[in-house]
Amino acid sequence: MTERILIVEDEKSIARVLELELKFEGYETAVALTGSEALIHFREQDWDLVLLDLMLPEIHGLDVLKRIRASDAKLPVILLTAKNDVKDKVAGLDLGANDYVTKPFEIEELLARIRANLRVKNPVDDNLHRFEELTLNESTREVVRAGRQIELTPREFDLLLYLMRHPKQVLGREQLLNAVWGYDYYGDTNVIDVYIRYLRKKIDFGEDATYLQTVRGVGYVLKEQPHEAQA
Asked if the domains 4-121 and 128-229 are classified in one and the same CATH topology, the answer is: no
Residue 125: CA count within 13 A, CB half-sphere: 12
On the question of pLDDT at 229 being above 60, the answer is: no
Q: Which of 103, 46, 104 is nearest to 75 (CA)?
A: 46
List of residues 6+ apart from 8 with CB closer than 8 A: 31, 32, 35, 37, 38, 50, 51, 52, 53, 56, 61, 64
At residue 227 the predicted structure's pLDDT band, cuts being 50, 70 and 90, is low
Q: Phi, psi (5° rounding) for residue 147?
A: 85, -5
At residue 230 the predicted structure's pLDDT band, cuts being 50, 70 and 90, is very low
Structure-model confidence comparison of residues 182 and 31, the more confident one: 31
Per-residue pLDDT, 153: 96
Beta strands in 47-172 (DSSP E): 49-53, 77-81, 99-102, 128-131, 134-137, 142-145, 148-150, 171-172
At residue 122 the predicted structure's pLDDT band, cuts being 50, 70 and 90, is low
**The domain 4-121: what is its CATH number?**
3.40.50.2300
Structure-model confidence comparison of residues 84 and 64, the more confident one: 64
CB contact at 8 A, 27 and 3: yes
Sign of CA dihedral 104, 107, 108, 110: positive
CB contact at 8 A, 215 and 221: yes
Is 128-229 in CATH node 1.10.760.10?
Answer: no
Q: Which of 49, 23, 18, 19 is nearest to 120 (CA)?
A: 49
On the question of pLDDT at 231 being above 50, the answer is: no
Structural domain boundaries in the chain:
4-121, 128-229
Average pLDDT estimate for 187-203:
91
Helix (H, G, I), strand (E, B) or coil at 46: coil
Average pLDDT estimate for 128-139:
91
Structure-model confidence comparison of residues 100 and 121, the more confident one: 100
At residue 2 the predicted structure's pLDDT band, cuts being 50, 70 and 90, is confident
On the question of pLDDT at 123 being above 70, the answer is: no
